[in-house]
Structures are given as structure tokens and as C-alpha cells.
Amino acid sequence: MGSAFRPFELLWKRRLTPSASLLRFAVPDGLPLGGHGRTAPTGVKVQLPGTELEKSYSPVSLPAQAGSFDLLVRAYPPRQGGGMGAYLCALQPGQTALMKVKPESFSHLGGLPLARGRWDQLGLVACGTGLAPLLQVANEALSWNQGTRVSLVLACRDEEEILMRQELEEMAGPFFSLHIQLSRPAASWPAEQRGRITPETLQQRLPAPDSNCFILVCGTDGFVSTVAGPVERIQLDGKKRKVQGPLGGFLAKLGYSADKVHKF
């Protein structure tokens, strides 16, 4: 499905922070997406023009969004083997980027182990643009209207770097709780949300290990390792692919079991 790269048109973009933007792309006519009510992809891979560099992105919009999808992209400073974020953020509406649809992962569209109604609570732990796949999961779980409670713990450097802040704050309600932890906060930032995430932070904000819950973690390799143990990489078909690796870090210390945790 969607094995060939093809042009996707940028419809609009919105600057979120000095280094990050929200980009909306149109779904090309005839793009194969399969069933389950999908009208947009759950994941895409982008190719940097003139290179072999490819990078995967998870839309923050729902797969049922009609005819388009939204990407949360950060433009990192130029570096060897990088530059995709800067390329995408520099696009203007009407221009195109080469993309292809990725196969679905378990975390989308209520697939196992996130089948609709299976868990009473979802705990999400993210830093930076690691928010993207977890925000899609949160939005979909809330759209089920089956009483699933979602708790998000988001780590950022400072207020300026909080991605999708308005959208997240508007989601707050009986079934969605938000905790933002800042490592370099302003003096006015609440005391209990200052500093780096600790085991105590997660213990207070996530569903208890012995509850009917599932925890998802996404961010830099270092962040994921600290929270849930390292993600391992195996060489397969000439490419390094992520595998879960053993559960460790804060979540293991707090008593969560490996079958209730997924590391992106």
C-alpha cells in the first residue's frame, strides 16, 4: 500500500514555536488507504529531494479527517544526515513534498493492543515532537466516547517550546488530563511542574500499574530510555529498525509490566 513516493500538496502551515510548525497536506486523489473509515494516512514517510534521506512522520490529525492530514514538524539546525524538518517548514502553500503512506502500526485505529474498549485508561509520556503520534492516539481514543481516560505527561524545555498548547488545553476535561513539565521554566510557572520528569511525576500523573491501563512513550532515544528503558535497533534489509527492548527506566521502577508499555 502506498509503496511509491508521490507529490503531496501543502495546503497551509501555522507556526507553533520559533522552531516548529503545523503543516496540512492534501491527500492525493486515488491514494490507497484501505478500509476502517480512513480518509487520511496514519503515518507517512517523506523523501528529501535530491537525496536518499527519508524520515517518518505521524499525523496529529485523526485518520478520518476528510481529504487532508496534519504534520507537526520541527526545523532542527542543519546537521549531517538531517535537514528534513527545515525543508518541510520552508515549503509554501501550493508546493509539494514527496511522500508515501506507511503501513499502519498497532497504535492506530483501535488496532491491538489498543482495541476499542480494551483499556480503561491510557497514559502518554512525550517530549518534543514525540507528542505527534501520541496526540493522534489521544484524539482517537477520546473520539470513541467509551469512557476511556487519557493522561498526558509532556516534557518541554520552556513555555515557548510547548507544541500544540492551545489544542491540548482545549482537550482538557473529564476524560483527558494534561501535565506539562518544564526543565527551564519562567518564575511564574507552577512549582509542581518545574524541572525534569521524575518517577514521582509519573506516579502522580499516570494510571496505576495495577489498573486496566496501557502506557505509550515517545521522544528522543535518551528520553525514552530514561522513562521506559532503551529502544533497540536491529539491522534488517539494510536498514536499522526499532524493536522494543526490555522494559526499564522509571516505568519498570514503578512496577509497570512490559505488556502494558509501548516505546515509539
- Residues near 136 by beta carbon (within 8 Å), at least 6 away in sequence: 42, 58, 59, 60, 61, 62, 63, 108
CB 156 within 8 A of CB 128: yes
**β-pair partners for 22:** 14, 72
Distance of alpha carbon 107 from alpha carbon 35, whole angstroms: 16
The residues pairing with 217 across neighbouring beta strands, listed in sequence order, are 125, 263
Q: Please check if 99 is assigned to a binding site.
A: no
Q: How far is the C-alpha of 13 from the C-alpha of 257, rounded, in Å?
A: 40
- Rounded to whole angstroms, the Cα distance separating 6 from 167 reads 30
Task: Give me the phi and psi of 17, to 5 degrees please.
Answer: -140, 175
- Give the CA distances from residue 191 to residues 153, 158, 162, 188, 251, in Å, rounded to whole numbers and listed in that order: 16, 14, 17, 8, 23
The whole-angstrom separation of Cα 183 and Cα 191 is 11
Is residue 256 annotated as involved in ligand binding? no
- Alpha carbon separation from 149 to 39, 211, 219 (Å, rounded): 26, 12, 22
Residue 226 cell numbers, joined: 530514561
CB atoms within 10 A of CB 255: 10
**Does 57 carry a binding-site annotation?**
yes
For the annotated binding site, the residues are 57, 72, 84
Feature table: binding site for FAD: 57, 72, 84
